[in-house]
Copies of this chain bind each other. A is one copy, B any other.
Amino acid sequence: MEKLTSPSMFIGVQGKGIISFGSGQPDLPPPKEVFKILPAYRSFKYGLVQGQINLRKALSKDYKRSTENDFLVTNGASEALDLAFRVVGKPGDRVLIHSPYYYTYPHLVKSAYLEPVITETSEGKIVLEDFEKKVRDCTAVLINSPSNPTGRIQNVKTLKEIERITQDLNITLISDEVYKDLIYERENYLLSGPRVVTINSFSKTFSMCGFRVGYLYSSDSAFVERATALKTFTSMNTNILAQEMAYEATKVPKKRIMNELKIWKGRRDLIYNGLAELGLDLWKPEGAFYVLPKIKNPRKFVWRLYKKYKTITYLGEWFGAPSRVRFSYALDASKIEEGLKRVKKCLREI
């Protein structure tokens, strides 16, 4: 069991009979339009470090009062976050993160020589009193709503308060909104303000994980310039072909997203009800495709479920939630049902 080290141990693990509630990889394919350009594609030269202009112009249509200059196209949201942390402050500066958090956040913050500060949530919701107290010593805040791993969204009232507090204090508000198109309860609320940096990606909405196209958006032009200057040294342009594929994705009618949302919601209901029926203590997912039930002896559960029942789940401990286990439901309903049966058996044994 000491072998349960991090989510990366399960990357690429597949085989007959394995059911994976592990990876955050949507199983639904990308829109077919993104592959249509491939046969005739022949470009090969360096592109603009900031990103292809057609893609940035298309993105700017989704953000009020923005222009293509406000965007930096990156190797997925991961690189956008990495660049943001590397330019946001100086070594030793603090970054406020709400817990449970996506497992890479503390690593990214620390690898930029910044210090993560944690605010615990209540049922996945930010507690403003604690937030406001801790934020004052911070250079930046990282918000992730909908959240990986909780599937919870922050209330609009809370998000507005966070905008007000951070912008009044001149603190950079980094908002990882990669699940913005996967919310079951309401429209996404885009955090905004002069010191807001939005992170997004084509990985979740368009299932383009492997192509690694993300972006950073901010009306703070100095911030975008600093991040672009750093990327000039650290990776240059994002793959030019992937950017063209992402551009094609921006032209796909929005109703595709709404149709997929229905599928996701069906799966959400299935796994939420299924786990609740097993008597587990859990929060209802409101977005993304994760659920984070409390489980007794989670290390033993995750290990046995994997070794005996060929079913992958992730330790909540990796996400700052040591008494919980993360289930991704980015898989077919029939597999979710079969997986729930295995979970039931495994829980009985422990």
Contact = CB atoms under 8 A, between A and B. Distances in A.
A216 to B, nearest CB: 13
A111 B233 CA distance: 9
Interface stretch (A22-30, A159-167, A185-193, A289-297): A22-30
A236 B35 contact: no
Q: How large is the interface on A (under 10, 10 to 19, 20 to 34, 35 or more residues)?
A: 35 or more
A235 B44 contact: no
Identical copies of this chain, number: 2
A235 B41 contact: no
A241 interface: yes
Contacts of A322: none
A8, A30, A38, A210 pick with most chain B CB within 10 angstroms: A210
A250 B174 CA distance: 41
Contacts of A39: 38-39
Contacts of A238: 75, 212
A75 B214 CA distance: 14
A308 interface: no
A86 B111 contact: yes
Interface in A237-273: 237-242
Contact of A210 (B12, B111, B237): B237
A207 interface: yes
A108 B229 CA distance: 11
14 contacts: A29-B42, A38-B41, A78-B235, A91-B113, A113-B113, A210-B239, A211-B240, A211-B241, A212-B239, A239-B239, A239-B241, A241-B241, A241-B242, A242-B242
